[in-house]
Structure 1
Amino acid sequence: MKMSSMLGARFKETPADCQLDSHKLMIRGGYMKQLTTGIYSLFMPAKRICKKIENIIRDEMDKIDGQEVMFPVVMPASLWQESGRYESIGSEMARFKDRSGQPVVLGMTHEEAAVHLARGTAQSYSQYPFMIYQIQTKFRDEPRARGGLIRVREFTMKDAYSFHTSQEDLEAYYEKCYQAYVNIYRRAGVPEVIAVKSDSGMMGGSVSHEFMLLTDCGEDTIVLCDECGYSSNMEAADCIVDAPETTEAPLEKVHTPGTKTIEAVCEFLHAPANASCKAVVYQKNLTDEYVIAFIRGDLEVNETKLRNFLGEEIHPAEITAESGIVAGFIGPVGLPEGVSFVIDQSLAALNNSVCGANEEDYHYTGYNVKRDTPDAPIADFAKTYEGAICPCCGKKSIRISRGIEVGNIFQLGTKYTKSMDMTYIGQDGKPHNPIMGCYGIGVGRLCASVCEAKHDDYGPIWPMSIAPWQVHICAIKANDPQVRETADALYNNLQAAGVEVLYDDRKVSAGNMFSDADLLGVPVRVIVSPKTMKRGCVEVSKRDKSLREDVAPEAAQAYIENLVQSMLDELK
């Protein structure tokens, strides 16, 4: 490709609305153009990168016997009503009616379509297991679109769905997909991606992992243990804490005027926060019934865990006078009738703590969970924290980091096949619901995440495997006959040898040419100029500045081909 013919411009100014480095560099570098919030058109460099990522994904999916298919973008609402997700998913899913008045949706994920495709087709146990996948554009009306291609509304995604006749078979295949994902990220040039335990959210299922690229700008909070390698998304991480030593005491109501916060009551009673009971009030989305989460005073509620425990959606409560709840003095003993509550396991180990007395200006001391609320439901719904106890090795070694999710895998079980009545005839001659797995990777997000991880102040440093081109020839003063002849010959010969070459043949200054080359981030750069010609060479360098070599023009082609191949081999 000759840059004199390439659409797209590069510029020095940083767009004001770009927060992430990848967003800034990909706008400045002429990779994409925003059409509207969270929706982008891609120029040729970004399209070439995404195509290479797709090919890596496709190759790894084919190696584990994936069958590439294509699902519709538009689906009838009735399909999603079968699974129950038409009502449970909110405004993120685009709903509209076709010309006949039938309700339809835009695909944001394709579990329902996968079941529909396989249902009635795979009718015997002998046809299992199998995996189908697609690489396709999807739409999710994301309310927090940000960061360029990191969080968008329209995106290209690989989604795969496996079907099995036993949990053991699913688990074995899940491990294959797990390893395929490790291979994909290594081949894409980001082997530092890690897998973490995660919450399956709206996808359902009991076992799931997210693949995270650790970076300070990430929007996900990651829980890590450097001692044993434990890793989890914050939403799914167990919270294990030491219980302070306390002496059992009788439950006693004490006057605590004006102490509506944990800090105030603990200061008033000279009690530590880790021996106090905090109330966080929610309402159930469907009924607006109150549910109160009681947790140790020094901890925070993990709302994802709480939702999962309750089995329904919740929102922060609006406490009314009619509720009987006394804000600032709420406790688990003597709550108004009809108000349900749950207790975090951090409180269960305390036999003497401070809690609200459900009366203005009064608290209890001596609260003992087992003695005073013996029938209360107890679960882990606390956020873990820096220095907490690792649930794997038991050491106080939890570390909190940030990351970008670049893929996920789920063991879905029979959530969709049962609700959508997909069955096969087993060896016993009886109908059974297949067990499913689900495996997703966002192509554009991975592209932007690689840029986030691999860049300097001047532009991206694309790994050879996904770079838009492998070699960038900069012909400085291309009107010089010797420069033009040498650069043209090298361009033509490398292309004929199968090397992907971007040729800057424009009549622009060396400064502009090098600035554009930095923004395009091609791994190998070749400079042909009157100065190099005078030295009897061309200058070959790596974008990451780890190599700079003068090479004779007649030896340049072989040298560059070997360099490209060696950089590809490093990723294997």
Structure 2
Amino acid sequence: MRSSQFFMPTLRENPSEAQIVSHRLMLRAGMVRQASSGIYSWLPLGFKVLKKIEQIVREEQDRAGCQELLMPTIQSADLWRESGRYDDYGKEMLRITDRHDREMLYGPTNEELITEIFRNSAKSYRDVPKMLYHIQWKFRDEVRPRFGVMRGREFLMKDAYSFDLDAAGARRAYNKMFVSYLRTFARMGLQAIPMAADTGPIGGDLSHEFIILADTGESAVFCDRSFIERDVLSLDIDYDSDLEPLVKQWTTDYAATDEKHDAARFGALPKDRQVEARGIEVGHIFYFGTKYSEPLKAQVQTQDGQTISVHMGSYGIGVSRLVGAIIEASHDDKGIVWPESVAPFKVGLVNLKAGDAATTPMADDLYARLTRAGVEVLYDDRDVRAGEKFAQMDLIGLPYQVVIGPRGAAKGEVEFKTRKTGAVEEISAEAALNKLASRQGA
């Protein structure tokens, strides 16, 4: 994509309404624009990141054995009355009456609807276990939406649901999602720490939040340094095996939010292993047994002829929230620093002197070759000052920058910059192409 054609309305100054880093940088980088309080339009740059995150979530859900479907945003109030949650949920639920005076709602979550789908389709023990998920927009009418996409009213969420015959089967599903979440966040360049959590309005008695450390996090967290040092992606995970030992490895060492903090237990850790920081929740998993299957009559017949309510769990990831969370965890004083896996483009190609007889043919040729090699590239071909080009590239945070100027072009060389480290090297255009092409899929 050429910058001269790309719709990316960047801002030079920090917007006054933005209180946290991710909100400021997303507005300045032209990723989003507010449509109304807590509701955002996703512009091309932000939408590309959103889709990258969504695809990683989808791949890891599929890997764990989940099957994707799509449920509607608007749900019937009758279902929520069956579960007993319609009147209990509070003003965060946007209630709607259609033209036939039927009471509806804009779904804040989907436990009721997925349970209805299951109860109308599954009758026998042969129909379980099942894990189903979708990635869909949700709405919760927050009393004070703030922090941009981190605490908005409309948001994109992945929610998965498991159905099992008994508590043991439900625990196996829970463990699969636990491990899947570790992999999902690691692929995004995040070290997510699982912490025991309250179940809140979802219900149940087993729950974990997945927290990433960030200076601007919402809550205080306390953990053993071992979590920061673990490499999830190197683990050889077989989802058909018993994952309980692996889950225990991740839940034995100390990790707690301020609500669950045990000062004495934390204090017993060696000082060099105590980490006290701020954290952002990026995922939450729950086991809640028959909380929804009993009132909604989601039942199956067992092998010996008994009719039982299935055991359920739910598993959420805030997909749109993750865009802000990644920025909170990965930025510097110049702008965003995207991990490669979620970056909107892998490389920014900068022609320092648009129209120049040496730089332009060289930049055009490298752009064409990168594109043919499948490398996502944003080519700054605009006729503007070099300083403006450098500032914009640092702001939007692409993993690599390739800069072509008159002196380098005369030697057949480019400047190759790694955004995360700031390291710059002068190499041939061919070498730059090879470095970028070899990192496809990284």
Contact 1:474 1:503 in 2 (8 A): yes
1:473 aligns with 2:330: no
| Match of residue 220 from structure 2 | 221
1:553 to 426, 429, 435: 429
Look up the equivalent residue of 2:205 and give its one-letter code: S
- 1:532 alignment partner AA: G
Q: So what's the TM-score if we normalise by structure 2? A: 0.90
Contact 2:208 2:284 in 1 (8 A): yes
Q: CA deviation at 1:547?
A: 2.9
- Tell whether the 8 Å contact from 2:358 to 2:410 is kept in structure 1 after alignment: no
Q: Equivalent residue for 1:203?
A: 202
Shift of 1:220: 2.4
- Cα distance in 2, alignment partners of residues 445 and 391 from structure 1: 29
Which of 255, 268, 288 is the equivalent residue of 1:412? Answer: 288
String of CA shifts for 1:522-561, please: whole Å, max 9, x gaps.
1010001112113330111111234322122344322332
Identical pairs, percent:
40
Please tell me whether residue 390 in structure 1 is matched to residue 276 in structure 2: no
Offset, 1:17: 1.7
Does the C-alpha gap of structure 1 residues 480 and 220 become closer, same or farther in structure 2, counting only changes over 3 Å?
A: same
For residues 142-153 of structure 1, what are the structure 2 equivalents within 5 Å? Answer: 142-153=142-153
Aligned partners of 1:85, 1:37: CA distance in 2, in Å? Answer: 26
Who is 2:329 aligned against? 453
Aligned position for 1:522:
398
Mapped pair 1:72 → 2:96: no
2:106 and 2:215 map into 1 onto residues whose CA distance is: 33
Q: Contact 2:222 / 2:266 at 8 angstroms: preserved in 1?
A: no
Counterpart in the other structure of 1:300: none
Question: d(CA) in 1 for partners of 2:298 and 2:399?
Answer: 49
Question: Which amino acid in 2 is paired with 1:200?
Answer: T
- Give 3-state SS (helix, strand or coil) of 1:162's partner: strand
**Structure 2 residue identity aligned to 1:503:** Y
The match for 1:383 is none
What residue number does 2:378 align with?
502
- Asked if the contact 2:25/2:335 (under 8 Å) is kept, the reply is yes
Per-residue deviation at 1:401? Answer: 3.3
Shift of 1:232: 2.2
Do the aligned partners of 1:389 and 1:395 also contact (CA within 8 Å) in 2? no
Is the 2:224–2:269 Cα contact (8 Å) retained in structure 1?
A: no
Q: Distance in 1 between matches of 2:274 and 2:7?
A: 49
Are residue 493 (structure 1) and residue 372 (structure 2) matched? no
Supply the AA of the counterpart residue of 1:196. M
| Matches of 1:495 and 1:41, distance apart in 2 | 28
In 2, Cα distance between the equivalents of 1:546 and 1:3?
Answer: 22
Contact kept, 8 Å, 1:138 with 1:156, in 2: the verdict is yes
- Structure 2 Cα separation of the partners of residues 549 and 444 of structure 1: 35
Q: C-alpha separation between the residues in 2 aligned to 1:557 and 1:224? A: 42
Task: Please list, as runs of the form range in 1=range in 2, the aligned pairs for 1:109-258 lying within 5 A after superposition.
Answer: 109-190=109-190, 192-225=191-224, 229-237=253-261, 239=262
For residues 188 and 354 of structure 2, what CA distance do their matches in structure 1 show? 34
TM-aligned CA deviation for residue 172 of structure 1: 1.5
Contact 1:474–1:528 (8 Å) recurs in 2: yes
CA contact (8 A) 1:76 1:105 kept: yes
CA root-mean-square deviation: 1.9
Q: What displacement does 1:225 show?
A: 4.9
Which residue matches 2:49? 49
The offset of 1:236, in angstroms, is 3.7
1:49-94 deviations in Å (ceiling 9; x for gaps): 1101111110000011111011111111001001111011100000
Instruction: Give the equivalent residue in structure 2 for 1:23.
Output: 23
Q: Is the 8 A contact 1:471 1:501 kept in 2?
A: yes
Q: Which amino acid aligns with 1:490?
A: L
1:406 Cα deviation after fit: 0.4
Moved over 4 A (4+): 225-228, 391-400
Output the CA distance in 2 between the equivalents of 1:449 and 1:545: 20
- What is the SS of the residue equivalent to 1:235? helix
Structure 1 residues 394 and 473, CA, compared in 2 at 3 Å: closer, same or farther? closer
Task: Return the alpha-carbon distance in structure 1 between the equivalents of residues 68 and 410 of structure 2.
Answer: 54
Identify if the C-alpha distance between structure 1 residues 513 and 398 changes in structure 2 by more than 3 Å, giving closer, same or farther.
closer
- Asked if the contact 2:330–2:336 (Cα under 8 Å) also holds between the matched residues in 1, the reply is yes
* Aligned mates of 1:401, 1:3 — CA distance in 2: 39
User: In structure 2, what residue type is equivalent to 1:510?
Assistant: A
Supply the distance in 2 between the matched residues of 1:98 and 1:449 (Cα, whole angstroms).
36
Q: CA deviation at 1:18?
A: 1.2
Q: What letter is aligned with 1:172? A: R
Higher helix fraction: Structure 1 or Structure 2?
2
In structure 1, give the amino acid aligned to 2:202: M
SS at match of 1:59: helix
With normalisation by structure 1, the TM-score equals: 0.70
**1:462-520 deviation digits (Å, cap 9, x = unpaired):** 01100000111011111102211111111111111111111111001000001110111
Note the C-alpha offset of 1:394.
8.8
- Equivalent position SS for 1:86: coil
Gaps of 5+ in 2: 227-251
Where does structure 1 lack aligned partners over 5 or more consecutive residues? 240-387
Deviation (angstroms), 1:419:
1.2
Residue 391 of structure 1, CA deviation: 7.9
Q: CA deviation at 1:399?
A: 6.4
Q: Secondary structure at the match of 2:92?
A: coil
* 1:225–1:390 contact (8 Å) kept in structure 2: no
Aligned in 2, Cα 1:395/1:499: closer, same or farther, shift over 3 Å? closer
2:297 maps to 1:421: yes
Which residue identity lines up with residue 411 of structure 1 in the other structure?
Y
String of CA shifts for 1:213-262, please: whole Å, max 9, x gaps: 1123211232435597311233344x5xxxxxxxxxxxxxxxxxxxxxxx
